[in-house]
Chains A and B, each alone.
Chain A
Amino acid sequence: MQHAELTSEAQQGTEMHMRILVIEDDREAASWLVKGLRESGHIVDLAAEGLQGLTMALEGVHDVCIVDRMLPLLDGLSIIQKMRSADLKTPVLILSALSDVDERVKGLRAGGDDYLAKPYAFSELLARVEGLGSRKLLDPKDAKLKALDLEIDLMTRTVTRGGKPIILQPREFKLLEYLVRNAGHIVTRTMLLENVWDYHFDPQTNVIDVHVSRLRGKLDKGFAEPLLQTVRGAGYMIRAR
């Protein structure tokens, strides 16, 4: 493949510095998580039980909360419900050993923004956390999305790059929209499968890769600068700048 491959160390964590609250009672898991997030350039606060976690979350100083479902004193879903009823909109990523679709739905219904089943790859978690952190930067009412010289008009559902129109299939449009909304952040294959196709199972093949490479073909054709990058071992990224 001809496109640029960036190592995860070079790419991740360089874009932004977030303040992240981790509420996790498993000491070892928490220490690896905190270490990884700090190495990625973020500021991390840790709470080892639910009540302390809720108190810290209610300070409202965090960009993203990572909440384990099973916690002493107060469980994860109750923390999220209390945060939401206090009108606190901090994005929350739920971590859980329960991987069922039902459990995911329960978590999202309680007010969680994303759900990740244990065990997870750290790169997957980081991509999701950074995706959640950047979400509030974009105005959802904005009718136009931009990345470099790419422009997406959500009203007319047209895409242009450098003023040249690009014809996309509906699914390709959805895929591009998701990538551009997360521009500057890594998007994993699982995130694409969940958000673009709404599938919450593992297809066991590189089925997503073909869709991305087709999209890339349409986007980068006739342009010297590649827009859609593959981040090895992690996923894909649309360059923001």
Chain B
Amino acid sequence: MPANNSIFQTSTFRLAAIYLLVFAISAGAILGYVYYTTVGLLERQTEDTIHAEILGLADQYQLLGVAGLVDTVQRRSRETGGAIYLLEGPNQTYVAGNLDAMPSGVTQNQTWIDFPITVGKAPVAVQHTARGFQVELANGYDLLVGRDVNELRQFRDVIREALFWAVAMSLVLGLGGGYLMSRNFLKRVDAITGATRVIMAGDLSQRMPVSGTNDELDRLSGSLNDMLSQIERLMNGMKEVSSNVAHDLKTPLTRMRARIEAALRQDNEQEYRAALNQTIEECDRLLRTFNALLSIAQAESGQMRQGLQPLDLNDTLTDVVELYEPLADEAGGSLKLEAKPGLRVRGDRQLLAQVLNNLIDNAMKYGQSSSEKAADIEVFGRVEGQTVVIEVADHGIGINEQDRERVLGRFVRLDESRTKSGNGLGLSLVASVMTLHNGHIQFEDNQPGLRVILRLPLYTEAS
């Protein structure tokens, strides 16, 4: 355990300590109440009894005189039950009672006193504690009434001891439990910290430990793991993009270099001219790729969101279809538009036109139903509830279900031979423009062919 991760600094331990303090205070209060209602009650009852008896005897002395009092004291002294009596005459002379002499410590009238008494006859005599009350009567007589409180005191000690141990045990157990809990917590936090260190060192496949109890730490680890999966996927995507960029740039550069080298070997102006023309074409292709990458990055950054204006997609659809219709027609295919009115969205005309442009271009390249025939393409536009739906459908080879997500990635071309022109960025741009417009792209099987479905939020005056 690292030194700065002291167990006393953990939130669990602090929580346990605070809880323990509150618990100790309330336990103390409860036990104090128990003590007061048991031991205290018994002591008070004893004192009340003694007091009552003193009053009774004082009354008798007034009514019957010394003889009556002596008679009563002698009678009661013979009874067993732990009652103690002593009646002294003037000058501390013994008159009656079961105590030989007034205990030392009695100095003034009407005081409570604890004093030792001897119970039983030697050799089994034992010392007990007694508690008594002494009053001075008229004519120099002193009366002491007491009770053997030995059992009571023993009971009090037992209770006190029990209370002490109860508090002590709860403190020890609470501290120990807090320590153990904190150590367990700390161990799991340390495990998570360790995992993050490994991840930071570069191993993105590492995950936070999950204990399986589904407690808050588990849930935290769970969401951290989800986040890590997302990051890992994005990182892999980035790596794929970087390696694709490298590959897609390296190939034309290699080609360019080879051509120039071959032309230089020829030493012929005609060859030079051809090589330079091809180099320019290759450069233009590379620049187009870079521009497409920049457009995607710009759409993805979201900074264009403020510039979006309300516009009618019907116009854009008509324009783009009109732009492409002659090309499709010339190739022997067809391009048809079926759009319902009211396709209002908040968007960027250029970007949305480019999206349609890319989709129609793809459909023309990959949408032929057979190799002899050019593609027949249908474009639909309609409103579904609060959504504007645009569809571009062809009757070509379509996209397999498992490739539908992948094909949105940069430089992904399903045409492995790459015989058709293109840079594999068209659908990436479509996806990023859709995201910019809070829209969504989806692929469906057109049976046969591909149906690309774009959904955009409908623009209304209220929104």
**A15 adjacent to chain B (CB < 8 Å):** no
- Considering the complex, give the chain A residue whose CB is closest to the CB of B285: A204
**A210 adjacent to chain B (CB < 8 Å):** yes
**A28 adjacent to chain B (CB < 8 Å):** no
**A101 adjacent to chain B (CB < 8 Å):** yes
Report the separation of the CA atoms of residues A199 and B351 in the bound assembly, to the nearest whole angstrom: 9
Task: Chain B residues near A142: list those with CB within 8 A.
Answer: none
Task: Give the contacts of A187-204 with B (CB-CB under 8 A).
Answer: 197, 199-204
**A199 in contact with B291 given A204-B421, A205-B327, A210-B326 (CB within 8 Å):** no
Report the separation of the CA atoms of residues A134 and B87 in the bound assembly, to the nearest whole angstrom: 145
Task: Chain B residues near A207: list those with CB within 8 A.
Answer: 323-324, 327
Contact of A201 with B353 in the complex, beta carbons under 8 Å: yes
**A139 adjacent to chain B (CB < 8 Å):** no
**B422 adjacent to chain A (CB < 8 Å):** yes
Contact of A119 with B287 in the complex, beta carbons under 8 Å: yes
**B190 adjacent to chain A (CB < 8 Å):** no
Cβ contacts B340-383/A at 8 Å (1 or 0 each): 00000000101001100100010010000000000000000000
Task: Chain A residues near B330: list those with CB within 8 A.
Answer: 210
Contact of A201 with B295 in the complex, beta carbons under 8 Å: yes
**B288 adjacent to chain A (CB < 8 Å):** yes
Cβ contacts B313-349/A at 8 Å (1 or 0 each): 0000001001110110010000000000000000010
**B298 adjacent to chain A (CB < 8 Å):** yes
Contact of A102 with B307 in the complex, beta carbons under 8 Å: yes
Contact of A203 with B326 in the complex, beta carbons under 8 Å: no
- Considering the complex, give the chain A residue whose CB is closest to the CB of B331: A210
Secondary structure type dominating chain A contacts: loop
**B213, chain A: closest CB distance, angstroms:** 54
**B172 adjacent to chain A (CB < 8 Å):** no
**A99 in contact with B294 given A197-B323, A199-B350, A211-B326 (CB within 8 Å):** yes
**A5 adjacent to chain B (CB < 8 Å):** no
**A157 adjacent to chain B (CB < 8 Å):** no
Report the separation of the CA atoms of residues A211 and B326 in the bound assembly, to the nearest whole angstrom: 7
**A100 adjacent to chain B (CB < 8 Å):** yes
Residue in B291, B319, B323, B324 whose beta carbon sits within 8 Å of that of A99 in the complex: B291
Contact of A210 with B327 in the complex, beta carbons under 8 Å: yes
Contact of A101 with B327 in the complex, beta carbons under 8 Å: no
Contact of B324 with A101 in the complex, beta carbons under 8 Å: no
- Considering the complex, give the chain B residue whose CB is closest to the CB of A104: B350
Task: Chain A residues near B361: list those with CB within 8 A.
Answer: 203-205
Report the separation of the CA atoms of residues A121 and B288 in the bound assembly, to the nearest whole angstrom: 13
Report the separation of the CA atoms of residues A210 and B287 in the bound assembly, to the nearest whole angstrom: 24
**A214 adjacent to chain B (CB < 8 Å):** yes
**A171 adjacent to chain B (CB < 8 Å):** yes
Task: Chain B residues near A211: list those with CB within 8 A.
Answer: 323, 326
Contact of A201 with B326 in the complex, beta carbons under 8 Å: no
Report the separation of the CA atoms of residues A225 and B449 in the bound assembly, to the nearest whole angstrom: 45
- Considering the complex, give the chain A residue whose CB is closest to the CB of B287: A119
Task: Chain B residues near A206: list those with CB within 8 A.
Answer: 327
Report the separation of the CA atoms of residues A155 and B230 in the bound assembly, to the nearest whole angstrom: 61
Q: How large is the interface on A (under 10, 10 to 19, 20 to 34, 35 or more residues)?
A: 20 to 34
Residue in A121, A201, A204 whose beta carbon sits within 8 Å of that of B350 in the complex: A201
Contact of A200 with B307 in the complex, beta carbons under 8 Å: no
Report the separation of the CA atoms of residues A68 and B373 in the bound assembly, to the nearest whole angstrom: 48
- Considering the complex, give the chain B residue whose CB is closest to the CB of A197: B323
Contact of A203 with B357 in the complex, beta carbons under 8 Å: yes
- Considering the complex, give the chain A residue whose CB is closest to the CB of B298: A100
Report the separation of the CA atoms of residues A99 and B327 in the bound assembly, to the nearest whole angstrom: 27
**A207, chain B: closest CB distance, angstroms:** 5
Report the separation of the CA atoms of residues A220 and B394 in the bound assembly, to the nearest whole angstrom: 35
Task: Chain B residues near A200: list those with CB within 8 A.
Answer: 350
Report the separation of the CA atoms of residues A197 and B324 in the bound assembly, to the nearest whole angstrom: 12
Task: Chain B residues near A197: list those with CB within 8 A.
Answer: 319, 323
Report the separation of the CA atoms of residues A137 and B364 in the bound assembly, to the nearest whole angstrom: 42
Report the separation of the CA atoms of residues A171 and B324 in the bound assembly, to the nearest whole angstrom: 13
Contact of A199 with B326 in the complex, beta carbons under 8 Å: no
Task: Give the contacts of B12-64 with A (CB-CB under 8 A).
Answer: none
Report the separation of the CA atoms of residues A128 and B353 in the bound assembly, to the nearest whole angstrom: 24
Task: Chain A residues near B280: list those with CB within 8 A.
Answer: 121
Report the separation of the CA atoms of residues A20 and B326 in the bound assembly, to the nearest whole angstrom: 39
Task: Give the contacts of A98-147 with B (CB-CB under 8 A).
Answer: 99-102, 119, 121
**A26, chain B: closest CB distance, angstroms:** 17
Task: Chain A residues near B357: list those with CB within 8 A.
Answer: 199, 201, 203
Report the separation of the CA atoms of residues A171 and B350 in the bound assembly, to the nearest whole angstrom: 18
Residue in A99, A119, A204, A214 whose beta carbon sits within 8 Å of that of B422 in the complex: A204
Task: Chain A residues near B421: list those with CB within 8 A.
Answer: 204
**A188, chain B: closest CB distance, angstroms:** 13
Task: Give the contacts of A149-171 with B (CB-CB under 8 A).
Answer: 171
Contact of B354 with A201 in the complex, beta carbons under 8 Å: yes
Report the separation of the CA atoms of residues A202 and B287 in the bound assembly, to the nearest whole angstrom: 11
- Considering the complex, give the chain A residue whose CB is closest to the CB of B365: A205
**A194, chain B: closest CB distance, angstroms:** 11
Task: Give the contacts of B291-312 with A (CB-CB under 8 A).
Answer: 291, 294-295, 298, 304, 307
Report the separation of the CA atoms of residues A211 and B319 in the bound assembly, to the nearest whole angstrom: 13
Report the separation of the CA atoms of residues A194 and B294 in the bound assembly, to the nearest whole angstrom: 20
**B196, chain A: closest CB distance, angstroms:** 40
Task: Chain A residues near B323: list those with CB within 8 A.
Answer: 197, 199, 203, 207, 211
29 A/B residue pairs, CB under 8 Å, sorted by A:
A99-B291, A99-B294, A100-B298, A101-B348, A101-B350, A102-B304, A119-B287, A121-B284, A171-B322, A199-B323, A199-B350, A199-B353, A201-B295, A201-B353, A201-B357, A202-B288, A202-B291, A203-B323, A203-B357, A203-B361, A204-B421, A204-B422, A205-B361, A206-B327, A207-B324, A207-B327, A211-B323, A211-B326, A214-B326
Q: A199-B323, A210-B326, A214-B326 provided; 11 other pairs, C-beta below 8 A?
A: A99-B294, A101-B350, A197-B319, A199-B350, A199-B353, A201-B353, A201-B354, A201-B357, A203-B357, A205-B327, A207-B324
